[in-house]
Amino acid sequence: MDSVCVVFVTALILFFSTVVLIFYQNRFRLKSKSRNHQLPLGSMGWPFIGETADYVSSAYNVGPDAFMDKRRSMYGKVFKSHIFGSPTIVSMDAEVNRFVLQSDAAVFVPSYPKSVSELMGEFSILSINGSLHRRIHGLVGGFFKSHQLKSQITKEMQNYIQQSMANWSEDRPVFIQDVTKSIAFQLLVKALISLDPGDEMDLLRKHFQEFISGFISLPINLPGSKLYRSLQAKKKMIKLVQKIIQAKRDSGLSKVPKDVVDVLLNDASEHFTDKLIADNVIDMMIPGEDSVPVLVAIAIKYLSECPLALQQLTEENMKLKRLKDQQGEPLSWSDYMSLPFTQTVITETLRMGNIIMGVFRKAMKDVEIKGILIPKGWCVFTYFRSVHLDDSNYDHPYQFNPWRWQNKDMSSCSFTPFGGGLRLCPGLDLSRLEASIFLHHFVTQFRWSAEEDTIVNFPTVRMKRRMPIWIERVKD
């Protein structure tokens, strides 16, 4: 027994000695590399857990800005921390964020919590790098910008919206976030796999809701755990999508792509497997699931609180409606996107709403930017929200003011609601179109009063009560 104790104690001493040695070696390495470039100020928090608990607690109880604002006042717009299991440089500096977003995979790669990485899989467009990512991103982005899809999406979006609005009742509240989520999901699935509303669509959505629920979960893949149920749901979705892919192969590939699956199947330069295509199709549903519904719901909230903006938006859309009615023509993609004030409302909602608060990137080598050292293996959290709400970038940043965009450059590095660089969201134009179509039909068909609601910013951005409104139909 004594000998066992001696061995155990010796092993324990060796273990802690090794930990201490590694700690000081890393500290010495960082100091030696910091003679000209310095790590930013900040705190690494507690051993192992860092400042994660503080960040999560602040975000839930006060809002994500509390954690960030406190450290910005102490350390500046760029500081070091240790959150979500990794030493991290947090950036609220627009120029630093732009540098990170514009860098290629030799410098920075996407970084996600373990549960998220496991759910997305090895070949997800959200995590892959290099030539494979460029090829898939280019194919999908090109399809989303194609004239054919623009025409198809515009027509289908109008139909889905009209069908939904026809069922709205004046005797009970309409929950904007819910109705737009249903419409957006149907539209996205149609663009991805040409699936129409029906039993299969309902089943796919049921599995998808189970799938995304695991993104905010402990990385424990055991039967009964949230992550396990989420992974099982994805397997069912993959099976359903692979069935659709096989049906396309059996019937012969369409020369003119009707959806994203067609685009990937028709690509001659790569031999995409059915599993890779199915995985990526499912992962492309993730950013579109909440982005447009939340964007529209927040826009309705801001418009309800700003009568002058609502009046100008309504007048602009009524003018277009009267013109098209006189001409006897349906509205096109270009009609919706050419509404100048409507676009400024959407842009201002994106700036204030911050549906994507920021992104994580991992440094593949030591990087220096503006005299700041980002060590290899560390993460960078480019925090868009603070940049969008910084009074040095925008006058009165917490005030909804769509007129500010009439003379402001949207390509500025201080405006990044869809990310940037090689990973700029390929569906950004599609998101704007969906929001434009919904707002047009909404303000030209209804007058409404909104119930009190608040924006929840963590763990995801959403309306607390799903944005309930009471409607009154406009008489022709």
Q: What's the whole-model pTM score?
A: 0.89
pLDDT above 80: residue 268: no
The reported pLDDT for the residue numbered 119 is 86
- Higher per-residue pLDDT: 175 or 23: 175
CB-side exposure of 304: number of CA atoms within 13 Å? 22
Structural domains in the chain (count): 1
pLDDT above 90: residue 447: yes
- pLDDT confidence tier of residue 461, bands split at 50, 70 and 90: very high
11 belongs to a structural domain: no
The arrangement of strands across the sheet holding 108-110 comes to 78-83, 86-91, 379-383, 358-363, 108-110
pLDDT per residue as tens digits for the range 252-262:
877 889 999 99
116 belongs to a structural domain: yes
pLDDT per residue as tens digits for the range 78-87:
999 999 889 9
C-alpha to C-alpha distances, 385 to 94, 97, 392, 459, nearest whole angstrom: 11, 12, 14, 14
- Higher per-residue pLDDT: 269 or 281: 281
- Higher per-residue pLDDT: 86 or 29: 86
The reported pLDDT for the residue numbered 334 is 94
Strands 468-473 and 174-175: antiparallel
The reported pLDDT for the residue numbered 449 is 96
Strands 379-383 and 86-91: parallel
Tokens, residue 156: 């289908």
Largest CA distance in the chain: 97
- Higher per-residue pLDDT: 128 or 446: 446
pLDDT above 80: residue 142: yes
Mean pLDDT of the chain: 88
The reported pLDDT for the residue numbered 2 is 39
21 belongs to a structural domain: no
The reported pLDDT for the residue numbered 122 is 77
pLDDT per residue as tens digits for the range 195-204:
999 999 999 9
pLDDT above 50: residue 89: yes
- pLDDT confidence tier of residue 37, bands split at 50, 70 and 90: low
Structural domain including 322 reads 36-473
Query: For residue 414, how many other CB atoms are within 10 A of its CB?
Result: 19
CATH number for the domain spanning 193: value is: 1.10.630.10
Distance CA 274, CA 242 (A): 6
Number of H helices, E strands in the chain: 17, 12
- Higher per-residue pLDDT: 320 or 6: 320
Whose tokens are 């006060």? That residue is 62
Distance CA 444, CA 167 (A): 16
The reported pLDDT for the residue numbered 288 is 65
12 belongs to a structural domain: no
pLDDT above 60: residue 7: no
Q: What DSSP string describes 5-47?
A: HHHHHHHHHHHHHHHHHHHHHHHHHHHHHTTTSBPPSB---BT
Q: Are 376 and 365 in contact (CB under 8 A)?
A: yes
Mean pLDDT of 141-164: 91
pLDDT above 80: residue 20: no
3 belongs to a structural domain: no
Strand partners, 84: none
Whose tokens are 């007048």? That residue is 315
The reported pLDDT for the residue numbered 48 is 84
pLDDT above 50: residue 33: no
Mean pLDDT of 18-44: 57
- Lowest mean pLDDT segment, chosen from 36-40, 55-59, 260-264, 331-335: 36-40
The reported pLDDT for the residue numbered 202 is 93
148 belongs to a structural domain: yes
C-alpha to C-alpha distances, 328 to 159, 314, 322, 325, 426, nearest whole angstrom: 17, 21, 10, 5, 33
pLDDT above 50: residue 34: no
1 belongs to a structural domain: no
The residue type of 441 is: H
- pLDDT confidence tier of residue 278, bands split at 50, 70 and 90: very high
The reported pLDDT for the residue numbered 162 is 93
Distance, first Cα to last Cα, the chain: 92
The reported pLDDT for the residue numbered 476 is 67
322 belongs to a structural domain: yes
Distance CA 194, CA 388 (A): 36
- Helix/strand/coil for 390: coil
